[in-house]
Structure 1
Amino acid sequence: MQFDPEFFTESLFSPSAPFLRGLMMTVAVSVISMTLALFVGLLVAMMARSRFFALRTVAGLYVWILRGTPLLVQLVLLYMGFSAAGIFAFETVSIAGISIAGAVQAAVVALTLNESAYVAEIVRSGLETIPKGQVEASQILGMTAISTMRWVILPQAIRTMVPPLGNTFNQLMKNTSILSVIGVQEMFLMTQSISSATFRTFEIFCVAALYYLLLTTIWTVIQWYIERHYNHKVGLPYEIPLVSSTVRVLRSGRAGLARSPREETPKEVLTP
């Protein structure tokens, strides 16, 4: 079967309603899961920094288990395993007139738990970059632990957290493709359905790949603006890494071609 450019073009620029529903599901699940993961991850990071041994132990086990097991296993265990064992079953609920299937709920919970473990480590490492002297100075001024965290530590640490958190969100959006195993009608599952109905597997999956690329690219641009904002606040230079690095490589290449071998030799070597 040959490549059908007409089908590819139509699917890319005028996607069907099922494909658009899958796209919206992918975006919604990604945004909701990452938002919840930020709150849970921050809580776990605070527990990991607690002076109480029990809280540090719980936080350590939480991160160890969720980072050490595959997301696919966590997803299936949460949705199918718990139901089969009679522990808990996700059922369809209605919130503000919107019906949310049990599979979607399980997907959000699984992604939130998995991502929060990574977020917790990012937050913990970011907080540890702040000198302890600033915390002690805040205590001398009479600030509470919550006020110190809110006004002193987080505003400084968040700049170092943005790049890894942005990369984590990018990874989460791509991980939504495995939600099809429990029947969540996200973009990958809808692409499979269209492929089965049209027998245009290569074309429609190329379209899906381009839409995943579009989503991650949009977020990369948003992340760059966020990084630019925080770098500007502390007086650091800001530029687009990809563009700037490419320009530097091209410039260095032209400069290298323009210089002669004798010009590249250190002056100390040429001097008798």
Structure 2
Amino acid sequence: MEFDWSFLASGDTAGKLVSGLLTTLRLFGAAWLGGFLAALVIVGLRAIPFAPLGAFMRVFVEYHRNVPTVVQIMVWYFGMPQLLPDAWRAWINQGQSEFFFAAVALSLNVSAYFSEDIRSGLRAIPVTQVEAARSIGLSAFSAMRYVTLPQALRIGVPPLLNRSLILFKDTSLAMVIGVAELTYQVKAIENLTFRSFEVFAIATMTYLLLSLTIMGLGAWFGRRFPPAFKG
């Protein structure tokens, strides 16, 4: 078998790869940030002693943990616009709605996992720390914000890192609704050049290097901010 890498010299090919990579990173960053913030909200809401709210949040988490991610993306892209008024739907269709809906779907999906990881970290913290925080006048919210939550995040670094890696790889699923991320662009190049092995070898190495980079950053964070308490 002969390998031909000459297609990489084409400016159009290089441009597609760079554009796809940047879109992948943008999608990952938007989904991670949105998912992390949503997870904090979920954790806070589940701490409220109101049974209907707790039940709703449990349903939310179980839906996003048990329905395939690609289905969730398609539900948001094909289903949700049908529930909106015509004017809103037309406005969404004028922009990059594919990227927006993919980011929303991935954010909500990962938020369910992040919230469970954070709650596991909270459960690992001795209740005496909460009692001590309340004894010096902190409210329940302040005790969580300043005492338990920072420790829970540090304890939860390994599972949060693992889920972040999965989220990064899940960005490739956005191609099913036309988001021109790395996998989408690689497939487009393969259709034009018919150099399947070479093109997908590039994609493989790119995803591998970026995944190792995320792992390295997570390991650095774990060493830089070790948990004050280890359960």
Q: For the Cα contact (< 8 Å) 1:126–1:158, is it kept in 2? A: yes
Per the TM alignment, residue 194 of structure 1 is displaced from its structure 2 partner at its CA by: 0.3
Q: Which residue of 1 aligns with 2:28?
A: 30
Q: Which letter does structure 1 place at the counterpart of 2:194?
A: F
- Greater relative contact order, per chain length (Cα 8 Å cut-off, separation 6+): 2
The structure 1 residue matched to 2:106, chosen from 95, 108, 111, is 111
- CA–CA distance in structure 1, aligned partners of residues 135 and 200 of structure 2: 60
Bigger proportion of residues as helix: 2
Per the TM alignment, residue 70 of structure 1 is displaced from its structure 2 partner at its CA by: 0.5
Q: Which letter does structure 1 place at the counterpart of 2:17?
A: F
The structure 1 residue matched to 2:212, chosen from 213, 217, 231, is 217
Q: For the Cα contact (< 8 Å) 1:177–1:187, is it kept in 2? A: yes
Per the TM alignment, residue 43 of structure 1 is displaced from its structure 2 partner at its CA by: 1.1
Residues 173-212 of structure 1 aligned to structure 2 (within 5 Å): 173-212=168-207
**Does 2:150 align with 1:126?**
no
Q: Which residue of 2 aligns with 1:76?
A: 74
Q: Which residue of 2 aligns with 1:97?
A: none
Q: Which residue of 1 aligns with 2:41?
A: 43
In structure 1, stretches of 5+ residues that fail to align are 94-99, 237-272
Structure-2-length-normalised TM-score: 0.90
Per the TM alignment, residue 92 of structure 1 is displaced from its structure 2 partner at its CA by: 4.8
Q: Which residue of 2 aligns with 1:162?
A: 157
Identity %: 32
- CA–CA distance in structure 2, aligned partners of residues 31 and 92 of structure 1: 23
Per the TM alignment, residue 82 of structure 1 is displaced from its structure 2 partner at its CA by: 2.8
Per the TM alignment, residue 7 of structure 1 is displaced from its structure 2 partner at its CA by: 3.6
In terms of Rg, which structure is larger? 1
Q: Which residue of 2 aligns with 1:87?
A: 83
Q: Which residue of 2 aligns with 1:256?
A: none
Structure-1-length-normalised TM-score: 0.77
Q: For the Cα contact (< 8 Å) 2:4–2:195, is it kept in 1? A: no
Cα 1:234/1:130, change in 2 over 3 Å: closer
- CA–CA distance in structure 2, aligned partners of residues 168 and 174 of structure 1: 10
Q: For the Cα contact (< 8 Å) 1:49–1:124, is it kept in 2? A: no
The structure 2 residue matched to 1:21, chosen from 4, 19, 22, is 19
Q: For the Cα contact (< 8 Å) 2:45–2:53, is it kept in 1? A: yes
Deviations 1:154-198 (A, max 9, x none): 222222111111111111111111111100000000001100110
Q: Which residue of 2 aligns with 1:4?
A: 3
Q: For the Cα contact (< 8 Å) 1:48–1:124, is it kept in 2? A: no
Q: For the Cα contact (< 8 Å) 2:125–2:229, is it kept in 1? A: no
Q: Which residue of 1 aligns with 2:134?
A: 139
- CA–CA distance in structure 2, aligned partners of residues 170 and 132 of structure 1: 31
Per the TM alignment, residue 17 of structure 1 is displaced from its structure 2 partner at its CA by: 0.5
Q: How many residues align?
A: 223
Cα 1:235/1:123, change in 2 over 3 Å: closer
Q: Which letter does structure 2 place at the counterpart of 1:127?
A: L
In structure 2, stretches of 5+ residues that fail to align are none
Per the TM alignment, residue 152 of structure 1 is displaced from its structure 2 partner at its CA by: 1.0
Cα 1:169/1:125, change in 2 over 3 Å: same
